[in-house]
Amino acid sequence: MTPAWISLIVFVLCYALFVFLPTRRSWTACIGGLLLVATGVLGWRDAFLVKISWNVMGLFFGTLILAEMFLMSRVPAMLAEWLVDRSKSTRVAMLALCTLAGVISMFVENVAVVLLVAPVALSLAEKLKISPVSLLIGIAVSSNLQGTATMIGDPPSMILAGYMRMGFWDFFAYQGKLGIFFAVQVGAIASLVVLAFVFRRYSSKPSHIRQEKARSWVPAILLGCLILGLSFATVFDPAFAWFAGIYTLSLSAIALVWYRLYARWGSTRKLVTTLDWETTFFLIGVFVLVGGLSDSGWMDRLSGFMAGSVGGNAALAFTMIVVFAVIVSGFVDNVPFLLVMIPVAQKVADQIHAPVPLLMFGLLIGACLGGNLTPIGASANVVTLGILKKHGYAVSFREFMGIGIPFTVAAVLSACAFVWWIWG
């Protein structure tokens, strides 16, 4: 069997296991990567030193540490409760919580945001004697949406930034034009209208809830330093090869030293063990799997097929990539999908002479927002349904999709219309 067929079979088997065994996805990805090395498809040096983007991994893992401390500082919880207490109605308070969850998700992993804001939402629902189902679903899908807006919001954004060598501010303005951040905000406004309709029955005045106090502002300051430093990443490292990862890890090391010596919120070992090691090793394994698939030539064939299907029509190519990304990401993890499709979108753009940012931004929006279609499309959705079940609320696929589908359609259509208007 040729290396090309081995890489394809291993990737397809791993992808199937990602769907049917989501709790074992890190083991699946790493074993799949090791199989490619063991069968000679990739050399170990090529697999671990070339295919894995260690700069992206450093950015991801360092951000995990800073975000975890930011949550432990209780600053986000304080902001959430401050918003609820100053809202004119329950409906406004619910929309404010969803908006705040989205804003925090620009800098913090989506699951962590759900775990942070959910207690505030449950407290509000309990005092008002209302079901928390629609509110928690709104918080989850809003978190997934805004994770796309910045370079450090979600792993797919970091991966795209690494491939296109984008700095933090390139998400706001890229090549002299408005970036993907503003497209996501257009989508957020459209989806907020959908949530306003979903929450239309809640017009009473919200009850006051217990006000948190911030433990420390140091984690927030360090997060601000991260954003400031990444603003200059392209100056020091135009190739996106080392600066973002090393800088983020350095800040996280400072944060760990501060936590150890001054914070005293628990043991450093416990903090480290609570980090998202599952996604960390999942990313490492997927980088190797996709690297083997890329070298085999299968992506060239897929891009050739797509370019031939659209016949040189940029609008059709853009629509095809977005729709395909939304549908696939509604049911499977968007990280391996995005890693496969980024070079495909690049080749399609080159072959039909379409603007590369047009197809790349459409791909990222579709892949990240498509996860809101179903309760299994994103980790934040799964966690949200787990929280609701724990509190006695069993949510069906149909009930989730009753909010997820209109939310996703509104967000994707408006965001992609904006991307087309700027780049088409």
Convert the pLDDT of each residue in 197-224 to its tens digit. 999 888 766 666 566 677 889 988 998 8
Strand partners, 178: 173
CA–CA gap between residue 33 and residue 42 (Å, rounded): 9
Q: Report the range of poorest mean pLDDT among 34-43, 58-67, 207-216, 382-391.
A: 207-216
Predicted local confidence at residue 64, as pLDDT:
82
Strand partners, 177: 174
> Which phi and psi (to 5°) does residue 174 adopt?
-130, 125
| Helix ranges restricted to H, 74-109 | 75-85, 90-105
User: Tell me, what amino acid is at 151?
Assistant: M
Percent of the chain with pLDDT over 70: 97
pLDDT tens column, 361-413: 999 999 999 889 888 778 788 788 888 887 788 888 888 999 999 999 999 99
% of the chain at pLDDT higher than 90 = 29
Confidence of residue 97 (pLDDT cuts 50, 70, 90): confident
pTM for the complete prediction? Answer: 0.81
CA-CA distance, 200 to 91, in Å (whole number)? Answer: 7
What is the spatial distance between Cα 114 and Cα 125, in angstroms, rounded to a whole number?
15
Q: Which two tokens stand for residue 108?
A: 């913090």
Q: State the DSSP H helix or E strand holding residue 233, giving kind and residue range, or none if neither.
A: helix 233-236
Are 340 and 290 within 8 A, CB to CB?
yes
Number of Cβ within a 10 Å radius of residue 387: 18
Stretch 337-366: mean pLDDT, rounded?
89
pLDDT at 257: 92
Q: How far is CA 100 from CA 88, 107, 136, 390, in A?
A: 16, 12, 13, 24
What pLDDT is attached to residue 200? 86
pLDDT at 87 over 80: no
